[in-house]
Structure 1
Amino acid sequence: LKSILRMLWEERMDWFFGIDMAIYSDPERPPIVPDGFLSLNVERVFDENLRLSYTLWEEEVTPILVLEVVSTKPGGEYTTKLQEYARLGVLYYIIYNPKRRRKARLEIYQLQNGSYQLQTANPLWMPEIGLGIGCEPANYDGLTREWLYWYDENDRRYPTPYERAKTESQRAELESQRAELESQRANLESQRADRLAAQLRALGIEPEVS
């Protein structure tokens, strides 16, 4: 998700995507550490320094989206963390549980009137962010499995940097092949014109030069 955002919002400096980074809401409270979170309208970097943590009393912006990935067993994603993110005012809370078989692996909650409501769409368009989020099987980094992706408002998945580079490489190869075909066609036309001119001269006719 972060690598795709870097590509999509390359020119923007008003967003930050943290991975395994502590979020401090109060100096007297222990931090909460989501697997990933997105904040908008914040500085992407502080000069040449990078964030070591995300402190709400300094940033003055609550993350708009938080992601938790369930590993071998739940770690409060459906209870204490859900309550804590609601308390902080995180608008979208996403839980991805790849081990689930009978229930949905991806759950997207939206904060409404102070509590989270489960959304059913996959992908889900989030107008406050200008992106959709969802999951689908695909190949990434040589591994075929289900991945989380960003989507546009028409549910079209945004490509990964590797996919875009591959597409651009294929496009460049097609352009090269097209140029080669045009060159071959031009050569054939030139050879044809030369043969026709030779035939006319053999008949004592001097071909017109255009």
Structure 2
Amino acid sequence: MTQLYPYPKQQSLPTMYDLPSEDPEEPGLPDEFHDYQPDLLTQTCQSPRYSQDNYVIASDLNLYYDSDHTLWYKRPDWFVVLGAKRSRNQQELRLSYVIWQEEVSPFLVIELASPGTEDEDLGRTERKEKKPPTKWEVYEQILQIPYYVIYDRYQNQLRVFVLNSGRYERLELSQGKVWLEQLGLGLRLWQGVYEGVEGRWLRFYDRDGEWIPTPSERANREQQRANREQQRANREQQRANREQQRANREQQRAEEAELELQRLRDKLQQLNIDPDSV
């Protein structure tokens, strides 16, 4: 069979890190990890301090930040805005997050570092002349987002920056986790399987240190609890059945004893003997 696209054996084919995005200005369109990880963050970001209608979660959504330059935007991998109204009508779902309309900046932004974006994520790139500000400048100086988190899955490294006097300071993480008091949740790396993929994932935990379950995990737990309740009910029914069987045997023995006693009384009477005198 003729190969349609033969490559010379000595040619080294480009990897996924070499092939550019369809948009030269966006070198990293979401890959599989950038689908799974933001989804896990969204499913476990269940704040006890805010109703679900009063905070907005978004991933890979254009964030427009400058009313003087309305086409400038950044696209965080994941962010949450506290105090913003969640859209409940399909027709009103956001196409983007526009600061001058929302008037509320994100509370937390998370970027998932990759070999092509790490320098910009960490503020190592300089702003080019007549170009929009860098991601770091937007988060730190323009929007002044209180918490900026960067997770590098290749190095299993979690870096957290907190805004202090208008500048980001890197937090020294205790046991590799950070508590976000205003959100009422913490962030930490979790070793486990999500959507059938084993790895270290960034997810939220509660004040007791327990992982916030995903809807699937909650459903599994409810099913397991229902199974345990059913098993307990089955055991109770089995015990009740055994008790009933024992009672039935006792009743049968009592009836048999009564019949035997009556048989003896009848025999004594046949012999002209008063049974009560015996």
> Higher mean Cα deviation, 150-159 or 9-18?
9-18
Work out whether 1:65 is the aligned partner of 2:108.
yes
Deviations 1:35-78, CA, capped at 9 Å, x for gaps: 01100111101643110111111101000000101123325000
* Runs of 5+ unmatched residues, structure 1: 206-210
Equivalent AA in structure 2 for residue 89 of structure 1: Q
Distance 2:257 2:213 in 1: 63
SS for the counterpart of 2:86 is coil
* Cα distance in 2 for residues equivalent to 1:35 and 1:61: 18
Aligned residue number for residue 224 of structure 2: 170
How far does residue 109 in structure 1 lie from its aligned partner after superposition?
A: 0.9
Count of residues in Structure 1 that have an aligned counterpart in Structure 2:
202
Q: Specify the alignment match of 1:22 in structure 2.
A: 62
CA distance in structure 1 between the aligned counterparts of 2:227 and 2:89, rounded to whole angstroms:
40
Describe the shift of the 1:10–1:166 C-alpha distance in structure 2 as closer, same or farther (beyond 3 A): farther
Matches within 5 A, 1:57-136: 57-73=100-116, 74-79=118-123, 80-87=134-141, 88-100=143-155, 105-119=157-171, 120-121=173-174, 122-136=176-190
Paired position in structure 2 for 1:37: 79
Change (3 A) 1:184 1:11: farther
**C-alpha distance 110-11 of structure 1, shift in aligned 2 (>3 A):** closer
Q: 1:105 to 1:13 in 2, by over 3 A?
A: same
1:35 maps to a residue whose letter is D
Which segment is superposed worse, 29-38 or 183-192?
29-38
**Alignment partner of 1:116: what SS?**
strand
Match of 1:202, as an amino acid? E
Q: Which amino acid aligns with 1:36?
A: W
- Alignment partner, residue 3 of structure 1: 43
Aligned to 1:12: 52
1:116 offset after TM fit, Å? 1.1
Contact 1:135/1:149, CA 8 A, preserved across alignment? yes
Higher-strand-fraction structure: 1
One of 163, 181, 196 as aligned partner of 1:142? 196
- Find the counterpart in structure 1 of residue 248 from structure 2: 194
- Percent identical residues: 34
Q: Deviating runs (4+, > 6 A) in structure 1?
A: 6-10
What is the CA–CA distance in structure 2 between the aligned matches of 1:10 and 1:165, rounded to whole Å? 23
* Greater RCO structure (CA 8 Å; 6+ sep): 2
1: distance between equivalents of 2:84 and 2:50?
A: 15
Tell me which of 158, 167, 179 is aligned to 2:212. 158
Q: Distance in 2 between matches of 1:153 and 1:82?
A: 30
- Return 151-160 or 37-46, whichever deviates more: 151-160
Partner Cα separation in structure 2 for residue 126 and residue 181 of structure 1:
45
Verify the 8 A CA contact 2:49 2:184 in the aligned structure 1. no
2 CA distance for matches of 1:198 and 1:163? 51
Checking the alignment, whether the CA contact within 8 Å between 1:82 and 1:93 is kept in structure 2 is no
> Are the structure 2 counterparts of residues 71 and 82 from structure 1 closer, same or farther at C-alpha, using a change threshold of 3 Å?
same
What are the Cα deviations for residues 131-155 of structure 1, in whole angstroms up to 9, with x where unaligned? 1111121111111101111111232
